[in-house]
Amino acid sequence: MAVTVMLSGFSQAHLQHVNLLQAAAWWPWLALACQRGSGLGAGAVVGLQMLAGFPQMAYLSGAGAAVVAMAAHRRRAARILAVAALLGLLIGAAQWLPTWHLSSTSVRSDGLSPESIWRWGYTWRDLSTFISPFPFGDPSVGTYARKESLFWENAGYVGMLVLILAVAGAVARRRGRPGGRPYEVGWMGLVVVGVGIALSGETALTRGIAMIIPGFKSFQAPQRAIWLAIFGLACLAGAGLDAVRDHVRKGLWKALAAAAIVAVSLDLFTT
């Protein structure tokens, strides 16, 4: 799972955006804290994520945290999220208070316009980047021809193997703890929410809904929410891998593992 996230198109394409990745790196810990029902743990992570200095990733992580908490602890989710938000705001105050003050005197004081928010487009066609890293060309060799979007903002590559295993994980829906809701529900929710936010500029209806969500107008490039989808796919792929391992013989499992290594190697060096 960690390798999938680390080597995803999003992580690799944003290597030059250090504070974005520093903030994004805290997200798995936030998801874990919410999954385990620890509001204090989630709050500590939220505060540290704010201190990384990329407010949009903290904002998107909040949406993801809500999905995970509601899937794992439906009745306690509101309390977990409230504790996390309060503690996170206290810990991260040294970062977000000056940021809020400065933004109130900038062009973001009343929120960005729809044209600015969705300036760099993300369409249904961009979902193909989950399968292939360069469906519209490679900017490193000058073949990326889409003038209405930025390559690094839309990169969501995880590869076919991960997608196949993610489907297997979604079907398996193994329970994470006795009597609990399947954690896979939360991971599937992350995929839906991440892709939904990324595609929010596709129709007038989704734009209208997005514009009334508190805080949404403060940021450009909502397609950065594909980070949540990538994490959800990685978790589902892990569940899928466990399901495959539990249903095959030991010798066959080793053969499948070797075949997977070969497939990933070919995928890396031929695309």
73-98, pLDDT tens digit by residue? 888 999 999 999 999 999 999 998 99
- pLDDT, tens digit, for every residue of 24-63? 999 999 999 999 999 999 999 999 999 998 999 999 999 9
The alpha-carbon radius of gyration of the chain (Å, integer) is: 19
Using alpha carbons, select from 95, 53, 66, 12 the residue that is nearest to residue 214.
66
The whole-number pLDDT of residue 179 equals 40
pLDDT of residue 270: 56
Q: Which two tokens stand for residue 72?
A: 């794992």
| 111-147 CB burial, b ≥16 within 10 A, e <16 | ebeeeebbebbbeeebbebbeebbebeeeeeeeeebe
Give the tens place of pLDDT for each residue, 28-39: 999 999 999 999
For 48, the token pair is: 């540290």
Name the amino acid, one letter, at 175. Answer: R
User: What's the rounded Cα separation, in Å, for the pair 94 and 96?
Assistant: 6
Tokens of 35: 């999954």
For 130-189, write each residue's pLDDT tens digit: 988 888 888 888 888 888 888 888 989 898 888 888 888 888 765 444 443 457 888 999
